[in-house]
Amino acid sequence: MEFLPLFHKLENKICLVVGGGVIASRRAHILLQAGADVTVISPEIDDNLASSVEDSKLKWIRSTFDVDALDHLLDRIFLVVAATDNDSVNHAVAQFAEDHNIPVNVASDASRGDVIFPSIIDRSPVIAAVASGSKSPVISRLLRGTLEAALPAHIGKLTDIAGEFRAKVKEKISDSNRRRAFWERFFQGPAGAAALANDAQTSREMLVDALEGFDPDVHPGEVYLIGAGPGDPDLLTLKALRLIQQADVVFYDRLVSQPILDMCRRDAKLVNVGKARSDHTVPQDQINQLLVEYAQKGHRVLRLKGGDPFIFGRGGEELEELAASGVPFQIVPGITAASGCAAYSGIPLTHRDYSQSVRFITGHLKNDTCDLPWHEYAHENQTLVFYMGLVGLPIICKQLIAHGMRSDMPMALVQKGTTPDQKVLLGTLETMPELVQSNEIKPPTLIIIGEVVRLHDQLAWYRAD
């Protein structure tokens, strides 16, 4: 992190702007909006700065940059901005600031200064800022536009109401997790919606009612069963992202990528309950019980699974335990590995010319065998997708050929699909076992079998590198 974002209170602090052009004017007016006392040094100033001088909003020293002329301000300058069109003058200003331990922004050369000006979204008291380290102002402006569209116009009013009631809520609800949950329900419920609709009075009344009705003896815990998708964090649903950021405790599988885990709250408790073949970090029965126990203690529990929780994810088993224990839960489906890996490999699972059906098959059963109804799979016009089939791949190929499928049937093996480490191995039922051995493929992998695999060369679009 090249720059640490900080928010400074500039009210009545002296900020010096050297320069009188467009950039200097922009910097000066941002500082004025923050309540700073702005002094501009420049032989000439543009019309915007001149109008501010006339309104007595800023002071103008009509001269070139002169260190001696600043003696009366030296001990009180909080920030210096070098914004002339002369690099040598800007560097002299930067040196002056450095000599006197004053933070400086050099508009034409961010590396020469200590401070940069971000793109700002002002919904006071909510302030959002985006910066690209001065490497790409266009990216900063694009991101600012995205944030402006996402931040409601009256979110500042909602924040003011929360500030008014903060002490009362803390007094009423001592537990920090339950207090956070209370505020999130307020922000995302009807009371928050009223404030965002500029109806502050209704919002306050609803907040008072919610606080009076709060029962400290009731612990409304809940479990969120969420599919994290095949790896790419951009494939999360909006609802999944919202619940991920609300959870107090997170139980996650080994297939959940680190960028998705990074989206969890920093103070959330993260527990790895991942399972690999013959290596279960936490047994399934114990996972089920942990979900119940944490929810019954009042926590918002996130069960985060790779892919979709209802497709070879044991989500049904976990929900049976929750339902039997009376624990409320929500389910957020995810993009299953078959859909995600096939799409990122340019392999359509169905195609009018090649495949009119698709079957999702587990590569090993509960007793670690690969005893499957092979005669049902040996058809030309369907796509087979095997989950967890890397270890049993030689058996899969052998059995499909033995039950009538052509030995030259196209086959793809996708390793770490949708991630920057994605690798696609192409072959046939006959050649794939040897290809896997020679390429040292490791899980997680997905196997796709069918004529649709031929479309990979034409439709592949994702370049992992």
CATH number at residue 196: 1.10.8
Active site residue 423: no
194 & 297 share domain: no
Same domain (yes/no): 275, 310: yes
| Residue 264: per-residue pLDDT | 94
Q: Out of 37, 248, 253, 305, pick the active-site residue.
A: 253
Same-domain check for residues 171 and 104: no
User: Domain of 309: which CATH number?
Assistant: 3.40.1010.10
Residue 230's nearest CA partner among 32, 428, 9, 421 is 421
Q: Does 369 share its domain with 420?
A: yes
Which of 335, 366, 394 lies at the terminal end of a domain, its last residue?
Answer: 335
Q: How large is the average pLDDT for residues 21-28?
A: 94
For residues 25, 31, 37, 38, the Cα torsion angle rounded to the nearest 10 degrees is -20
Tell whether 316 is covered by a domain.
yes
Asked whether residue 220 carries a pLDDT value surpassing 80, the answer given is no
Say if residue 329 is in the same domain as residue 423.
no
Residues 331 and 352 in one domain: no
Q: Is the pLDDT of residue 278 over 80?
A: no
The confidence band for 369, taking pLDDT boundaries of 50, 70 and 90, is: low
Distance CA 107, CA 81 (A): 7
Residue with tokens 């096939």: 342
DSSP secondary structure, 288-313, as one string? HHHHHHHHHTT-EEEEEESB-TTSSS
Containing domain of residue 36, as a range?
14-117
Confidence at 360, pLDDT banded by 50, 70, 90: very high
Asked if residue 294 and residue 189 are part of one domain, the reply reads no
Tally the domains of the chain: 4
Q: Is residue 71 part of a domain?
A: yes
* 85 within a domain of the structure (yes/no): yes
113 shares its domain with 55:
yes
Is 379 in the same domain as 438?
Answer: yes
At residue 168, φ and ψ (nearest 5 deg) are -65, -40
Read off the pLDDT of residues 318-354 as tens digits, 9 standing for 90 and up: 999 999 999 999 999 999 999 999 999 999 999 999 9
Task: Examine residue 340 and state whether it is found in any structural domain, yes or no.
Answer: no
**Within-domain flag for 6:** no
Cα–Cα dist 405/220, whole Å? 54
CATH number (domain holding residue 49): 3.40.50.720
290-302: pLDDT as tens digits: 999 999 988 899 9
Of the pLDDT bands very low, low, confident and very high (cuts 50, 70, 90), residue 380 is: confident
Annotated binding site for NAD(+): 22-23, 43-44
pLDDT in tens, 162-215: 999 999 999 999 888 888 888 988 988 889 989 999 999 999 999 999 999 888
Examine residue 186 and state whether it is found in any structural domain, yes or no.
yes
In a domain, 422, yes or no: yes
pLDDT recorded at residue 273: 92
CA distance 170 to 211: 10
Binding-site entries: 22-23, 43-44, 230, 306-308, 311, 336-337, 388, 417
> What does the block give as tokens for 43?
């032989």
Query: Are 315 and 398 part of one and the same domain?
Result: no
Confidence of residue 427 (pLDDT cuts 50, 70, 90): very high
Average pLDDT across the chain, whole number: 91
Which of 170, 187, 212 is where one domain is finished? 212
Catalytic-residue membership of 275: yes
Q: Model confidence at 1, in pLDDT bands (50, 70, 90)?
A: confident
Instruction: Name the catalytic one among 275, 398, 408, 465.
Output: 275
The shares of helix, strand and coil residues in the chain, as percent rounded to the nearest 5, are: 40, 20, 40
Examine residue 260 and state whether it is found in any structural domain, yes or no: yes
**Other Cβ atoms closer than 10 A to 53:** 14
Q: Is the pLDDT of residue 371 over 80?
A: no
- Inter-residue contact 215 to 234 (CB < 8 Å): no
Q: Is a pLDDT exceeding 70 seen at residue 277?
A: no
Which residues line the annotated binding site for S-adenosyl-L-methionine? 230, 306-308, 311, 336-337, 388, 417
- Among 335, 367, 389, which residue terminates a domain? 335
- The CATH number of the domain where 361 resides is what? 3.30.950.10
- Band of residue 276 on the pLDDT scale cut at 50, 70, 90: low
Reported as a single tens digit per residue, the pLDDT across 27-50 is 999 999 999 999 999 999 999 999
Q: State residue 357 phi and psi, 5-degree precision.
A: -155, 160
Q: What residues have CB less than 8 Å from 151, skipping those under 6 apart?
A: 121, 123, 126, 128
Do 55 and 85 fall into the same domain?
A: yes
Average pLDDT over residues 208-232: 89
Residue type, 27: R
Strand order in the sheet with 423-428: 358-362, 383-387, 445-449, 410-415, 423-428
pLDDT grade, residue 138 (50/70/90)? confident
Measure the CA–CA gap between 264 and 241, rounded to whole angstroms. 9
Q: 251 has which bridge partners?
A: 271, 303
Same domain, 315 and 289: yes
The β-bridge relationship of strands 445-449 and 383-387 is antiparallel
Read off the pLDDT of each residue in 243-271 and give the average, rounded to a whole number.
Answer: 93
